[in-house]
Amino acid sequence: MKAFVDKLHANGQRWVPILDPVIHVRKGYKPYDDGMRAGVFLNDQTGHPYVAQLWPGASHLPDFMHPNASSWWQEQLRSVIDEEGLGIDGIWLDMNEVREPFFLKEKSREGSRSKREKISTFFKTKQKTPSKVSNYCTGDVCRATSPVLPNNKFVCELQCEDGPHALNKTLASPVPPLGIYNPPYAINNGGSESSLGAKTLPSSAVHHGGVFEYNVHNLYAHFQTMATASALQKLRDNKRQFIFTRSSFVGTGAYSAHWTGDTLSSWDDLRASLPMIFQSGIAGIPFVGAGEKIFCPRFFFTFLFFSSTSYSLFSLKKNFKIRKTSADS
């Protein structure tokens, strides 16, 4: 890996690895062991570290509101830079809404369907499915009754229960208000009228100081971004850090760029990407871009409007031969 990164740098390129917040539950794994000793993981309503599941398997989530979280996070990044000798040039923060990724599983007749039919099915299904969720499971309390190893089956393998007495006869302090489990209002979560806790951190999860996830859910990525910016500045000798995050909040633009998440090369996603990017600028995040899942020339020309998206302009130059004509002289 070091040889690969060194080759990139020798070629004038930069290495910005992608980083998810979930930490695999496994004794002997340094981030997990260090995190347990520092007590930096988000707790469930029973006072134990909340157990979620993503591609690493059973996982805990850092509580970036904890006073020890920033130093613990910095130490994990330092081990990559110093111990592994990998000269990172920035960090790409992903899966930090915190919600589960949406994946469409096509029917068996996939091969006989046209691209237009597949895209149509994708969006019809997407409207009925909770999307962008960094947890395969739903529950106020979840436990791994047997080892849950890394996998990408997108199936919950934890034992989970909802409600004030989930997997426990008594509640730890503070006791979540009953309104947290059934809020006095309803939203069309995921386009399927799902509960606030569907495929994500439950509203009853507890941050440092007894703060419920119900009150700070949208701030999770903002606090993670602040901790990452602080760590990189210290580890890279006060060089200006490069970070971009999938989730953000008002003020995140002071620390990070923002990307809108994966998009398909469809007219629907193309239409949605324009207001998302421009409105982020209104919210104080000037460096914003959209990712694309499937190559399509129409995206490159639209990306010319996204003046901050160097990725898009690079792709345009790489995939299309731009010739200078007499009219340019």
- Are 126 and 241 within one domain? no
- How confident is the model over 19-66, as pLDDT tens digits? 999 999 999 999 999 999 999 999 999 999 999 999 899 999 999 999
- Choose, from 20, 44, 97, 100, the residue flagged as catalytic: 97
- Are 44 and 150 within one domain? yes
- Are 72 and 201 within one domain? yes
Report if residue 293 sits inside a domain: yes
The residue from 189, 217, 245 where one domain ends is 217
- Choose, from 20, 63, 94, 292, the residue flagged as catalytic: 94
Report if residue 163 sits inside a domain: yes
The residue from 202, 217, 232 where one domain ends is 217
Question: What is the average pLDDT across 2-31?
Answer: 93
Report if residue 111 sits inside a domain: yes
- How confident is the model over 98-137, as pLDDT tens digits? 765 443 333 333 343 444 444 344 334 433 333 444 688 9
- Are 45 and 169 within one domain? yes
pLDDT, position 50: 96
pLDDT, position 243: 95
For residue 236, which of 84, 92, 81, 71 has the smallest C-alpha distance?
A: 81
pLDDT band of residue 276 (cuts 50, 70, 90) is confident
Report if residue 15 sits inside a domain: no
- Are 260 and 186 within one domain? no
The residue from 169, 197, 217 where one domain ends is 217
- Are 205 and 237 within one domain? no
- How confident is the model over 296-325, as pLDDT tens digits? 566 666 666 665 443 333 333 344 343 333
pTM: 0.81
Question: What is the average pLDDT across 187-196?
Answer: 74
- Are 198 and 311 within one domain? no
Please confirm, yes or no, whether 82 is among the known catalytic residues: no
Residue 267's domain comprises 223-322
- Are 60 and 41 within one domain? yes
53, 205 Cβ separation under 8 angstroms: no
Q: For the chain, how many residues are written? A: 329
- How confident is the model over 214-228, as pLDDT tens digits? 999 999 999 999 999
Question: How many Å apart are CA 203 and CA 176, to the nearest integer?
Answer: 9
- Are 108 and 206 within one domain? yes
- Are 79 and 101 within one domain? yes
Q: Round the average pLDDT of the chain to a whole number and report it.
A: 79
- Are 128 and 205 within one domain? yes
**SS3 (DSSP) at 291:** coil
pLDDT, position 109: 32
Q: Reading across the β-sheet that carries 288-289, which strands appear in turn?
A: 18-19, 91-93, 243-245, 257-259, 288-289
Question: How many Å apart are CA 18 and CA 128, to the nearest integer?
Answer: 28
- Choose, from 34, 75, 262, 268, the residue flagged as catalytic: 262
pLDDT band of residue 87 (cuts 50, 70, 90) is confident
Report if residue 13 sits inside a domain: no
Identify the residue with better confidence: 125 or 92: 92
Q: Which percentage of the chain shows pLDDT scores above 90?
A: 47
Report if residue 311 sits inside a domain: yes
How many domains, in total, are found in the chain?
2
pLDDT, position 180: 86
Report if residue 327 sits inside a domain: no
Report if residue 91 sits inside a domain: no
Please confirm, yes or no, whether 97 is among the known catalytic residues: yes
